[in-house]
A and B are shown apart, each in its own frame.
Chain A
Amino acid sequence: AQTVTQSQPEMSVQEAETVTLSCTYDTSESDYYLFWYKQPPSRQMILVIRQEAYKQQNATENRFSVNFQKAAKSFSLKISDSQLGDAAMYFCAYRSAEGNAGNMLTFGGGTRLMVKP
């Protein structure tokens, strides 16, 4: 079974600065997908960014980028130019690309990001 670990329960960043959230995972599979989801306070979880394991290039979405290290099984999220609206719980998630995995996601425990004005 796969596991996803987020070792930072809480992080804080100054507005306009850059912050990196860590995620590691354990899997014996070679093909899979990784995700970062964001859950603002009292709001829905939304997808921030997605990475296919077979792609060497790190995914980027505007101010959000990932550092995907497949051999190390590491998938960190970098938020540049942090904004107050980035304050949220961030979840790292894994999805197998093998068999009939569908959209069964395995989540990490989450990192609460606080943004200081």
Chain B
Amino acid sequence: EPEVTQTPSHQVTQMGQEVILRCVPISNHLYFYWYRQILGQKVEFLVSFYNNEISEKSEIFDDQFSVERPDGSNFTLKIRSTKLEDSAMYFCASSETPNTGELFFGEGSRLTVL
């Protein structure tokens, strides 16, 4: 069964460093998302992406964050200058349609900022 895959599974970085989290969505999906979950808190929406553009973004998704689909398979989340509060599990998801609510999630990338 097709799956969304994410790399790395865990990344430790120093505050101020740039981080790129990578995702390979399901191949025939056209809509892509990033969510995050800070330890002990709820899963939160960050951004949705379609047709090489951001469709929606939350208040969390400020200028420090960017997303890109650099080729036909990868979908990346970049954090330019990491802060301690960026430590979280980051979930990539994809979907066939933009409005059914059926998202296919990856296992997550745990980011630890020291």
Contacts and interface: CB of A to CB of B under 8 A. Distances in A.
Interface of A: 4, 33, 35, 37, 42-47, 50, 91, 93, 95, 97, 100-110
Contacts of A45: 91, 103, 105
B101 A105 contact: yes
Contact of A47 (B31, B98, B102): B102
30 contacts: A33-B101, A35-B101, A42-B107, A44-B104, A44-B106, A45-B91, A45-B103, A45-B105, A46-B105, A47-B101, A50-B100, A91-B43, A93-B101, A97-B99, A100-B55, A100-B56, A101-B56, A102-B56, A102-B98, A103-B33, A103-B100, A103-B101, A104-B48, A105-B35, A105-B43, A105-B45, A107-B42, A108-B42, A109-B42, A110-B43
A104 B16 CA distance: 29
B104 A103 contact: no
B40 to A, nearest CB: 9
Contacts of A47: 101-103
Interface string B15-26: 000000000000
B44 interface: yes
Contacts of A46: 104-105
B3 interface: yes
B45 A44 contact: no
B98 A103 contact: yes
Given A103-B48, A104-B45, A107-B44, A95 B101 contact: yes
Contacts of B104: 44, 46
B95 interface: yes
Given A44-B106, A47-B101, A47-B103, 13 more contacts: A44-B105, A45-B105, A91-B43, A102-B98, A103-B31, A103-B48, A104-B45, A104-B58, A105-B43, A105-B101, A106-B45, A107-B42, A107-B44
Interface in B35-57: 35, 41-45, 48, 55-56
* Most-contacted residue by chain B among A4, A42, A91, A103 (CB, 10 A): A103
Contacts of A44: 3-4, 104-107
A77 B100 CA distance: 19
